[in-house]
Structure 1
């Protein structure tokens, strides 16, 4: 039996309540995991796009600045980020937004004490929220990078939901077979976000790895120390994620009265926004970094790296223009 604080708590929970759904297991593991550490960087478990290079956050900021300007520069607009990591994306995006004349507040939706501490050092002006419910009733310029993938999924085999049980001295799944995944938690957040935008204005850019059409199969995965790990090992000590169904997010946005864009690959979107020109400009100013800048662009954009698996979706109030590179 894995001997971690959360593992002991889950054993006791299963003995008292019975088998846990995959959704409940994933939710418990990630809540503990993110509450107890900074998982990013070489000393953590994984690296996200904003940590690879400043170009990523700058282009997100440029897209938000552009749509804000074309919407008439509403003075009450605020910058919001869901799951902002160390604050790197917000810092890079806001540098571009401020240069464009944006003077709005900064709101970060983050529950991890460890990550809030890192974000506050980089963004001392930030206002923190546990969830979307307390965001101000104002137009949003919102970014969500690798946020939805960590929200829990339900797994079904046929008509029966998959559970985690105790077996052979450890955790095990109660059944195997062709799996279909659903995520009410993700749909609920998308509904909240789109409803806020429909009422108050704004635009959101969602970036995550996932798919745009029906996908059948088990996409639940664990990462620990930059390596894949078995999802039932080390509860609460590794990052659990699953592929995001972008079609379900778009459907939720429509039903809430907002307008979703088509979902495009991250590589296509970044190239459309001009990452090549930005890379050339940075290399011209910092010739000693030319190779590292080129390597970062390849990692962000190439099909064999993050370029194809990661998708980008925009959600906007119908009265606002399309986000650049993300038409309806």
Structure 2
């Protein structure tokens, strides 16, 4: 008997039996000689029959479904992917087919997820067409680093981004640097399923309008209900007093020495979760070298799981170690 095929569109999901396995198979359209590789990421056991097909035998938590070009690099222009998920031996053979998803220019694309419902059933969800695949290179590099380091959960559900809008920051930080920080935050939020409070582009525009003429440090209005990401050229002790989990991005042409001076002066007494976005880090993010972000993956996890910005599990040294 032919399977009952159900097409999943944006953010649609359906429950199917797990049985002894569920099968995942991907196709690239039009067919490309370089092929496609299907992967799953999370607390999962599986067997692979070929690059484009694998069998999930156990699913113990949220599992992401990922496609990449089999030969590496990026997907060619005008290419799309179709994914099928089914359990062919179930009493009712249901075949879930994801609507065609564009993958042009992406080094990888997260198509959806599988989550256990109970020991017998799993929920299969297709992501919004624009999610993940349209993330900038820097964001996807961060996602890869978080995956590689096993950072998969956080107590943070919402993140407020605050720009240190001062004249000194404006003089040392190029707009492109802030765009990269925005993309890093997008990658963190995407992978950890965190809502970013407010529109990053609007905040960037406000910063560019106000910073050139503002003297001195602004008063940062911190929402006590959400975590905060501060973007600054000069970390300062008062940032360690925020009553919420806090990440501090240090940017600009003096990012590394500024972070080093803070660590030497205040690292023990008023520690911060610092991520330095210097020229070397920018190059690594833009080239897709996720290993360069591995240390910061642990900083992200510690910061966003802390009850306050100065939690006991905080790695205070932005250059590695504690």
**TM > 0.5 fold call:** no
Larger radius of gyration: 2
Please report the TM-score for the alignment, with normalisation by the length of structure 2. Answer: 0.21
Please report the TM-score for the alignment, with normalisation by the length of structure 1. Answer: 0.21
Larger RCO: 1 or 2 (CA < 8 Å, sep 6+): 1
More helix by share: 1
More strand by share: 2
